[in-house]
Amino acid sequence: MAALVDTLLQRSLDDLIKSLRSQPTLESSIISRSISEIRREIRSTNPLTKSTALQKLSYLSSLHFLDISWSSFHSLELLPSPSFTFKRLAYLSASLSFHPSSDLLLLATNQLRKDLSPSSPSPVISLALDFLSLTASPDLARDLTPEIHSLLSSPNPSIRTKATATALRIFTRYPDSVRVAFKRLVDNIDSSAAIGVFCELSASDPKPYLPLAPDFYRLLVGSKNNWILIKVLKIFARLAPLEPRLARRIVDPVCEHLRRSNAKSLVLECARTVALSLADYDEAVRLVVEKVGEFLASEDDANLRYLGLHVLSMLGPRHSWAVEMNKELVIKSLCDPDANIRREALLLIMEMLFESNVVDISILLVSFASKSMPNPEFCNDILEAVLSACGRNVYELVMDFDWYVGLLGQMSRNPHCAKGDEIERQLVDIGLRVKDVRPELVCIARDLLIDPTLLGNSSIHRILSAAAWVSGEYAEFSRNPLELLEALLQPRTNLLPTSVSAVYIQAVFKVLTFCFCSYFERLESGHMLSSLGNPIAGTGCQEESDASTVVFGKGDNAAVGNLNNTGAIGCKPDSLSGSVNLDEQFTHASVLRMLNLIETAMVPLSNWGVVEIQDRALSVLCLIHMLQRFQVWNRDEEGLRKDGRVSEFANLMAGVFNQELGPVSANSQKRVSVPDGLILKENLADLTAVIGEEVNVSVSASTSFFHRKHHNGETGEETKILTESTSLLSEHRKRHELYYLPAGKDEAQSNDYPPANDPQLPVSQCGASEDLVELDDQPLLSRHRKPTKPRPVVVKLDDVDVRENSAPESTVDLKDDLLSGAVCDVLLGNEDNKPTKTQKKSAKSQRRKKDRPTYVEPASASQLRESGNLVHVELGSSSSKISRHGHSKEKQSSSQGIEDNEDGSQKNLTNSQHHYRKHKHRQDRDALPNLLPQTPVIQDFLL
Amino acid sequence: MINFVLLISRQGKVRLTKWYSPYSQKERTKVLRELSGVILTRGPKLCNFVEWRGYKVVYRRYASLYFCMCIDPEDNELEVLEIIHHFVEILDRYFGSVCELDLIFNFHKAYYVLDEILIAGELQESSKKTVARLIASQDSLVETAKEQASSISNMIAQATK
């Protein structure tokens, strides 16, 4: 009685839905209340109450995304219900709550077996099959293989279809089932479900399905069902690369479909098949390109434009002319309103990048990105694509680095540019790797640094940091170091984040060092000249420098004034940069002025709140004070020259930065061999105390700023006790020798371990390390334009090569392996592997064949059989494999006969299928006279 | 192969989900959130394909509902668009000009229809008539079962159990 009351008072699904819809704000509370109701109701013994509870739960799971895995047991309870209503609800909620990994699934095995038995009503079978196809676990697959096997030949076509589709899941979860059920699957090969299964199976390993090629070919030629044709084409796209003769055979039918079909999906599939595996056949490719052109030109269908680009990018690598032909449409697609189409077009263009066109295309894209882009996201996509394409494999596409560095500069000026990190990396990387480009690089960096407007854009601060580093490190290439200093010290630099400011100050330090070192060098050489008895040259030099002193004397005040005022120095580069000649720049007065300028700028920074900046600013100030302490400054050049201390100091300072920096390989640390006598401890805990003072030492995987940081740290310490700078440095080096990279050749030889980053290192010394001069061993492909000027040397490190060369090992899934092995066994009758099983099976199939009624074979079947036998006779002596195959063929053709026989009983067959069949018959009749020429066709497939 | 089918309303509410590849509950929620974010924001007249985590999602909007199917990268997008349309036509025929409310109140029927069209992520029946007939036969089974269950003798038997 209580059960009846429960049933009567239970809220129905409709009630639940209505209450949820009427109060959308209270949704969560309604859900939690009804869940607690359901938890109570679901335990009821009354199937009606239980099923309603499960139904409500299914609703909540499906539309409100509740986790209902806890209810899976209750749906199992309802599964055996004799009432179809409850069964259907139980299966629905089970399919929502179960997962192939659920433990409870095993409990369902028996019920599924019962429901899958051929005597159950077909709706029940189809429910069970649906459920099994979703949740088949290896155990379930193993236990239910016999049921699936028998259902594969069910008289009901819809059950057969479902069983076929479920067989795929059974095969993949439990590969041994292939040995039992695969033949029946081959029997059903004409159905779209079976073709779908073969299509899925061949995706992981197509090879075992080669023997079925004649059947697929028959469908390709004969079928009128587009769904089937698409799948068959997919299968052929995978099979054709394995067997060249197959490709030759299918070209014509594929072209035929391309020409004839009105269905765009079929045309698309044909085009893909051609692009994937028939790219050698010019006629087919031309046809595809024509169709793709139509696709691309369809104004009103974005789908076709997208897919056209897609197919084109599949064709592109082999047939660049195809892209060339549709070039305008592709470029036009870059402005498409659809972001996906734009991206596809960009991808396509980037794939077509070769040495010969990289310059043109990159310029086109970068200018495209900078002008008129209403869409910053895509603009950055373009920049990223260009950056990654040009930077690929250590800039292998770039022949002219001067141009590329200029392009990087242009990208930086793009107002939407958000690729600062990558541009920064490349600027520094190129500086380190490519010696020849440094002058141009410094020039580009100067242009970037000098522009005060760029400082306002926070996304390119990283680029400015790289520019500052480059111009500091390679200050010797700067045409006008004084101008550079002014750019580095301009007032708007206070907009920079501290990390970048620190790099700026460090760059100032380097430029300053370079300036006065070269100034003293000039003085020395001038002195030498005059002392050699060449007074004319000496005075000439003197006069010259006097003249420029006057010039700079004028500019001096103006520039300092500028600095103190608004500081639009960048806008007036002419304030100082009158001369280009380095010698003329470094006059007594100009160097003095430079010292003043730097001092003025550094004083406020020396009180800065951030230690990074304060530290560096103090270092610079320290150096300046040191220089100013030489009283001779205030006298003249002659006095300066005579002061030995000054030149000695200049030499010391010049030594600080003269070490060449190179790129660091990511695995350089590994190659450092342990010196004799050094015992490496397993437990490094007691090293923490040492590490405490060793902040500088960091192992960086990237090439970017590793060295620089190192240097910064050193010099920061050093300059405080400036006169001993180099001695301290060497002391430090002695103490922590292991952490230093070698300075030069001499040291490299004295050290025990091979240096990681020395570009001059001979190959013999360190086997793995190679310096690749790209040009020498590069095969000149036809697409490569002869370079107008030689490509500069790009320093490459071994790890890059290793990474490129070692293609990832193709790891075949064990399951796949098992599966395709089993399929091979079945199709080729590999007797060695499973003798007992296969024999048993063949006996079984013999028996099965006997049971079949006799019938009049249609022409195609006999033809097929004949061809099969033909092969049998021809090749049978050489291998038992083929004979077995011929056998399967025979069986398959007989099954087809049965289907034809049953045609009458299957009144429910659809119109289209009817058409298809009719057509097939007609074709068969047509095919009859051509029997003789056609037989070798099929034999061709059978290897 | 179709990995999953989603029906999402324009407001981002889920109307139907069917997972042919195993996804955990957590992954499912994530997938839904990601995809509805991507698809609902796309304007009209754009292409019906979205690349997502290495898969392709084919979607199409019918009235206020987005029908989405996630397929493998090598699958045929246009074919899947046809499958979606096929599904919608069958729903339309079954419910008689289907609307979103039909799919809410009869969510289970939408599942039954889908189960007759797709199985294991593949199209099983390309004929609308056949699907209609199969579902009709199931429904008639349900009707007879209901009649039996609601007969008075049955209720008495239940009550006195």
Q: What digits encode the pLDDT tens for the residues A670-697?
A: 777 777 777 766 666 666 666 655 444 4
Distance CA A247, CA A276 (A): 11
Amino acid identity of residue A552, one-letter, is F
- CB contacts of B141 in chain A (<8 Å) are 84, 121, 123
pLDDT at position A61: 85
**By the 8 A CB rule, do A424 and A500 touch?**
no
Interface of B with A in 8-27 (CB under 8 A): 13-17, 19-20, 22, 24-25
Distance CA A41, CA B131 (A): 34
pLDDT at position A908: 43
State the nearest Cα–Cα gap between B134 and chain A, in angstroms: 8
Chain B residue with Cα closest to A68: B25
Distance CA A301, CA B55 (A): 22
In a domain, A881, yes or no: yes
Model confidence, pTM: 0.66
- Sign of the torsion angle spanned by Cα atoms A150, B122, B92, A88: positive
Cβ distance A230 to B79 less than 8 Å, yes or no, reads yes
In a domain, A591, yes or no: yes
Instruction: Note whether B151 contacts A: Cβ–Cβ < 8 A.
Output: no
In a domain, A311, yes or no: yes
Cβ distance A4 to B82 less than 8 Å, yes or no, reads no
Segment among A168-172, A317-321, A618-622, B18-22 with least mean pLDDT? A317-321
- Give pLDDT tens digits for A882-891: 344 444 444 4
User: Who has greater pLDDT, A441 or A556?
Assistant: A441
Same-domain status, A453 and A596: yes
Instruction: Note whether B156 contacts A: Cβ–Cβ < 8 A.
Output: no
pLDDT at position B55: 92
Chain B residue with Cα closest to A203: B74
Structural domain ending residue among the three candidates A319, A339, A359: A319
pLDDT at position A666: 66
| Coil/strand/helix, residue B57 | strand
Same-domain status, A424 and A315: no
Q: Which of A2-16, A500-514, A552-566, A779-793 has the highest mean pLDDT?
A: A500-514
- CB contacts of A64 in chain B (<8 Å) are 14
Segment among A10-14, A937-941, B97-101 with least mean pLDDT? A937-941
- CB contacts of A58 in chain B (<8 Å) are 107-108
Enter the tokens of residue A516: 């006065």
Distance CA A416, CA A419 (A): 9
- CB contacts of B46 in chain A (<8 Å) are 302, 337-340
Distance CA A615, CA A613 (A): 5
- CB contacts of A916 in chain B (<8 Å) are none
- CB contacts of B78 in chain A (<8 Å) are 264-265, 268, 303, 307
Same-domain status, A315 and A433: no
Mean pLDDT across A215-225 = 86
Q: Which of B149, B28, B78 is nearest to A81 (CA)?
A: B149
In a domain, A785, yes or no: no
Instruction: Tell me what ipTM this predicted complex has.
Output: 0.90
Give yes or no for residue A752 having a pLDDT over 80.
no
Provide the 8-state DSSP code for A858.
P
Same-domain status, A439 and A303: no
pLDDT at position A96: 85
pLDDT class of B99 with cuts at 50, 70, 90: confident
CA distances in angstroms from A88 to A13, A185, A779, A880, listed in the order given: 16, 28, 67, 49
pLDDT at position A633: 55
- CB contacts of B107 in chain A (<8 Å) are 58-59, 62-63
Mean pLDDT across A364-378 = 74
Distance CA A605, CA A597 (A): 13
Distance CA A650, CA A608 (A): 29
Interface of A with B in 67-126 (CB under 8 A): 67, 69, 83-86, 88-89, 92, 99-101, 121-123, 126
Cβ distance B149 to A265 less than 8 Å, yes or no, reads no
- Any residues with CB less than 8 A from the CB of A359 and at least 6 apart, and which? A400, A403
- CB contacts of B4 in chain A (<8 Å) are none
Domain CATH code at residue B111: 3.30.450.60
In a domain, A528, yes or no: yes
pLDDT at position A808: 46
Cβ distance A200 to B82 less than 8 Å, yes or no, reads no
Same-domain status, A425 and A292: no
> DSSP secondary structure string, A584-617?
HH--HHHHHHHHHHHHHHHHHHTT-SSHHHHHHH
Cβ distance B111 to A303 less than 8 Å, yes or no, reads no
State the nearest Cα–Cα gap between B82 and chain A, in angstroms: 9
**By the 8 A CB rule, do B124 and A198 touch?**
no
Enter the tokens of residue A206: 């197509």
Give yes or no for residue A43 having a pLDDT over 60.
yes
Structural domain ending residue among the three candidates A319, A353, A385: A319
Q: Which residue in this structure is represented by tokens 């073709």?
A: A195
pLDDT class of A389 with cuts at 50, 70, 90: confident
Mean pLDDT across A829-842 = 44
| Coil/strand/helix, residue A53 | helix
Q: How many domains does chain A have?
A: 3
In a domain, A406, yes or no: no
Q: How many domains does chain B have?
A: 1
Which burial class, exposed, middle or buried, applies to A328 when counting CB atoms under 10 A from its CB (0-12, 13-18, 19+)?
exposed
**By the 8 A CB rule, do A216 and A206 touch?**
no
Give yes or no for residue A761 having a pLDDT over 70.
no
Mean pLDDT across A302-309 = 86
Enter the tokens of residue B116: 């007759």
pLDDT class of A743 with cuts at 50, 70, 90: very low
Write down the H helix ranges in A479-497.
Answer: 481-489
Orientation angle between helical segments B107-117 and B77-95, nearest 10 degrees: 130
Enter the tokens of residue A568: 């639009």
pLDDT class of A373 with cuts at 50, 70, 90: low
In a domain, A212, yes or no: yes
pLDDT at position A640: 59
Distance CA A279, CA A31 (A): 58
Q: Which of A145, A135, A131 is nearest to A174 (CA)?
A: A145
Main-chain dihedrals φ then ψ at residue A532, nearest 5 degrees: -75, 0
**By the 8 A CB rule, do A147 and A173 touch?**
no
Cβ distance A84 to B141 less than 8 Å, yes or no, reads yes
Same-domain status, A458 and A579: yes
Per the prediction, chain A carries an average pLDDT of 69
pLDDT at position A725: 52
Q: Which of A328, A341, A273 is nearest to A302 (CA)?
A: A341
Distance CA A732, CA A713 (A): 12
Mean pLDDT across A264-269 = 88
Cβ distance A100 to B22 less than 8 Å, yes or no, reads yes
Interface of B with A in 40-79 (CB under 8 A): 43, 45-51, 72, 74, 76-79
Q: Which of A576-590, A767-781, B4-18 has the highest mean pLDDT?
A: B4-18
Structural domain ending residue among the three candidates A624, A656, A688: A656
Give yes or no for residue A431 having a pLDDT over 60.
yes
Instruction: Note whether A198 contacts B: Cβ–Cβ < 8 A.
Output: no
Amino acid identity of residue A385, one-letter, is A
Cβ distance A84 to B15 less than 8 Å, yes or no, reads no
CB pairs under 8 A between A and B: 172
Amino acid identity of residue A28, one-letter, is S
Q: Which of A15, A51, A56, A88 to mutate to test the interface with B (most CBs of B within 10 A)?
A: A88
User: Who has greater pLDDT, A490 or B156?
Assistant: A490
**A297-309 burial, b for 16+ CB within 10 Å, e for fewer?**
eeeeebbbbbbbb
Cβ distance A58 to B107 less than 8 Å, yes or no, reads yes
| Coil/strand/helix, residue A317 | coil
Q: Which of B124, B152, B160 to mutate to test the interface with A (most CBs of A within 10 A)?
A: B124
Domain assignment of residue B145, given as a range: 2-159
Domain assignment of residue A256, given as a range: 205-319
**A62-93 burial, b for 16+ CB within 10 Å, e for fewer?**
bbeebebbebbebbbbbbebebbbbbbbbbbb
- Any residues with CB less than 8 A from the CB of B79 and at least 6 apart, and which? A226, A227, A230, A265, A269
Distance spanning both ends of chain A, measured CA to CA: 75
- Give pLDDT tens digits for B18-55: 988 888 888 888 898 889 888 888 888 888 888 888 89
Distance CA B46, CA A341 (A): 9
- Give pLDDT tens digits for A45-79: 777 888 888 888 888 888 888 888 888 888 888 88
CA distances in angstroms from A172 to A140, A166, A176, A209, A817, listed in the order given: 12, 10, 9, 15, 10
Cα torsion at B32, B36, B38, B39 (round to 10°)?
Answer: 130
